[in-house]
Amino acid sequence: MLVPHYEIRLSAAERQGLATLQRAGKTPQQAVRRVSILLLADAGLSNQAIADQVGTSRNLVQKWRKRFALYEPPPRLAEEEIDPVARLAALQDLPRSGRPPDFSPAGTTHDRRRRLPRR
């Protein structure tokens, strides 16, 4: 059974922000894939056509299309200006459940010393 697709309508500022992310050399590839999905969805392509063009599954296209369409930016204070690209935060990963890892991103030297053989 095919899931109905969510319609994506991007503002000019959002489209420009997504295009900038897509062209940036330091953008992670999974973010570039998500941006490509949204830009193609805005162009009116079907989920299967987007999946074929991006080289991913139709389920992944459906997931990101739905997540972007249903995303609501956090409420702002009355005196703050409305950010025209606030919806782009929907491209971020959601927090994962479970216990956080016990290691630091830099790594620990204590564990490495323990693994070395003694002479």
Instruction: Write out pLDDT tens, residues 15-25.
Output: 998 999 899 88
Joined tokens for residue 3: 């899931």
Q: Summarize the chain as % helix, strand, coil (round to 5).
A: 50, 0, 50
Instruction: Give pLDDT, residue 51.
Output: 95
How many Å apart are CA 62 and CA 18, to the nearest integer? 18
Instruction: Give pLDDT, residue 25.
Output: 87
Full-model pTM? 0.70
Q: What letter does residue 45 receive in the DSSP assignment?
A: -
Q: Which of 12-16, 51-55, 111-115 has the lowest mean pLDDT?
A: 111-115
41-54 mean pLDDT = 94
Question: Is the pLDDT at 43 greater than 90, yes or no?
Answer: yes
How many Å apart are CA 114 and CA 3, to the nearest integer? 52
Question: Is the pLDDT at 62 greater than 90, yes or no?
Answer: yes
* Torsion, Cα of 46, 49, 50, 55 (10° steps): 160
How many Å apart are CA 60 and CA 3, to the nearest integer? 12
Q: Quick count: other Cβ atoms within 10 Å of Cβ 66? A: 15
Instruction: Give pLDDT, residue 19.
Output: 92
